[in-house]
Amino acid sequence: MGLEILRGQFQLLIPILGMLIPIVAIVAYYVNKNSSERERHTTMRELVRNGQPIPPELLGSLRDFEESDYGDTRNKRSLVNTLRGAVINISVGVGLMSMFFVMRPNSWLWALGLIPACLGVGLLLLWWVGRPPAAAKPAV
């Protein structure tokens, strides 16, 4: 009897650990990012304190923030990535709907494909709204 109770507790432990792994990975990523940013800022402070110029490599993320105008290539690349994500999500959604419909025609499983498909439609709308306005065409 004691072994059965112990086995039941371990069966719950596996899904809980499985759900904790991505959380631990995300926390580790942000801790590492915070540590590297702190080191970068310490290096910049030391360079300024010693009167030396700051290399442009250390100012990389700051320059990206300053140059984010509507017409720059970074914004265009972001729009292309948004469109790419929209097409991928819509394609995955349609593929899942087709697969589940073929597997079980009289089931509701095909509706699971609506999740990525709707995400793709949302990204498509985001891309549509974020596009720069088209130049006015002269009347002929």
**How much is the average pLDDT of 58-69?**
57
Q: What's the burial of 85, exposed, middle or buried (CB within 10 Å: 0-12/13-18/19+)?
A: middle
Distances (CA, A) of 44 to 41, 54, 61, 90: 5, 6, 13, 45
Same-domain pairing of 88 and 105:
yes
Same-domain pairing of 30 and 49:
yes
Domain count, the chain: 2
Distance of CA 84 to the CA centre of its chain: 13
Same-domain pairing of 1 and 61:
yes
- Residue 126 tokens, joined: 């985001």
Report phi then psi at 46, rounded to 5: -65, -40
Query: Is the predicted pLDDT of residue 27 greater than 70, yes or no?
Result: yes
The helix/strand count (H/E) of the chain reads as 4, 0
**pLDDT tens digits for range 77-116:** 788 888 899 999 999 999 999 999 999 888 898 899 999 9
Distance CA 55, CA 43 (A): 11
How would you write 34-81 as a 3-class SS string?
HHHHHHHHHHHHHHHHCCCCCCCCCCHHHHHHHCCCCCCHHHHHHHHH
Q: Which domain holds residue 51?
A: 1-66
Instruction: Tell me whether residue 86 is in a domain.
Output: yes
What pLDDT was estimated at residue 5?
Answer: 63
What pLDDT was estimated at residue 109?
Answer: 87
